[in-house]
Structure 1
Amino acid sequence: MKKTLLLLSILLLMACVSPMRSDFERHQKKWQEANITHYRFELNMICFCTFRNRMPLQIEVLNGQIAAMTDNTGKTITAADAHYDFFARYATIDRLFSELQASLNGKADQIAVAYHPSYGFPTRINIDRIKRATDDELGLAVSAFERLP
């Protein structure tokens, strides 16, 4: 009887670990183990937003902090920019992982993600916070990733 209860408990615990969560954890670990402290990438935000014409953003990150951020015209995006806080929320790989983790923890009804095969960071994230709502979807696409010295 005790063995049956133990086996049942293990099976229930295993059912709680979703494939998406374990995939997330595996890729996040791969990113952390790559230990990339200086990099540049393009971030395209796909949404029903007023700033769509500014995409993609070119972002440089040094030691986990935004070193530079420009829009597709080359205009530098500073804290004075009306959209800075929204852009900054996704402007490092670690922040992308944090947003993805929050979505996986129940802040979204539907999530789709693809990861970089070598470094593990998310290359594409699609988040639908409310499945039956319109205009709440957010897509994030990372491209042109470059490790810097």
Structure 2
Amino acid sequence: MKLLIAALLTAASLSICAAPSVIAGDKPVSPTKPIVKNPLAEADRQLKAAEAKWKKKRPEHYSYTLQRSCFCAPDYRKPIEIRVFRGKVQQASLLPEGTPLPAERKAEALPVEGLFRMIREAIVNKSASVTVKYNATYGYPTSISIDRDQMMADEEVYLSASNFKIASGLKPKQQK
């Protein structure tokens, strides 16, 4: 009998410890994380707000550094310095060497609008997870994390944008 009572008390104390610390009505609520019913809808709302800010404040010429984190060859993880002139990539260089980005990788050198496109495609295609941080002043993405399929390994996309600079001295590419 004592063993049965001890087992019941142990089970009761474990279930109390596992219960959420805040109860609202009859529904448990986590005090640390807000409940987001549709994370992709929230990601879409944030994207639209950031794009509106970017369109309002977008400089004509700018440069920034884009870096990928992935399960890939080290050369693909090197930062890329991207110079944009009138919305088009003028120059892309691998850092720290400053060597031009190889021609077969030119698609990786995205203007800020290209980063917005990538985020929008992830939302439209209902990726498992889309987490983005945006610059408070200009609205460009500073950190992008996309997991297209939760059941698939190593297909996640992680990008960070840093060293954003408004550039007034950029000149268009010389025509050959």
TM-score range, shorter chain: 0.7 to 0.9
Cα deviation per residue 1:77-133 (whole Å; 9 max; x = unaligned)? 253xx3233x13xx2100000010000112521111000000001100001111121
1:75 to 77, 84, 99: 99
Alignment-derived partner of residue 58 in structure 2: 35
The one-letter amino acid paired with 1:132 is: M
Structure 1 residues 54, 137: closer, same or farther in 2, change over 3 A?
Answer: closer
Q: 8 Å contact 1:58–1:71 — kept in the other structure?
A: yes
Q: Structure 1 CA distance, aligned partners of 2:77 and 2:42?
A: 35
Structure 1 residues 31, 20: closer, same or farther in 2, change over 3 A?
Answer: same
What do you get for the CA RMSD once the two structures are aligned? Answer: 1.8
- Structure 1 position 141 matched with structure 2 position 160: yes
**1:135 Cα offset (Å):** 0.8
Alignment-derived partner of residue 86 in structure 2: 63
Q: Structure 1 CA distance, aligned partners of 2:124 and 2:141?
A: 17
- Structure 1 position 110 matched with structure 2 position 129: yes
Q: What TM-score do the two structures reach when normalised by structure 1?
A: 0.80
Give identity over the alignment, percent.
26
Q: Structure 2 CA distance, aligned partners of 1:52 and 1:138?
A: 16
Structure 1 residues 84, 107: closer, same or farther in 2, change over 3 A?
Answer: farther
Q: Which structure has more RCO (C-alpha within 8 Å, separation ≥ 6)?
A: 1
Name structure 2 gaps, 5 residues minimum: 1-37, 169-176
Q: 8 Å contact 1:113–1:124 — kept in the other structure?
A: yes
The one-letter amino acid paired with 1:147 is: I
Alignment-derived partner of residue 106 in structure 2: 84
Larger Rg: 2
Q: What TM-score do the two structures reach when normalised by structure 2?
A: 0.68
- Structure 1 position 24 matched with structure 2 position 47: yes
2:115 to 96, 121, 124: 96
Q: Structure 2 CA distance, aligned partners of 1:123 and 1:131?
A: 23
Q: Structure 1 CA distance, aligned partners of 2:148 and 2:92?
A: 27
Query: More displaced, 41-50 or 137-146?
Result: 41-50
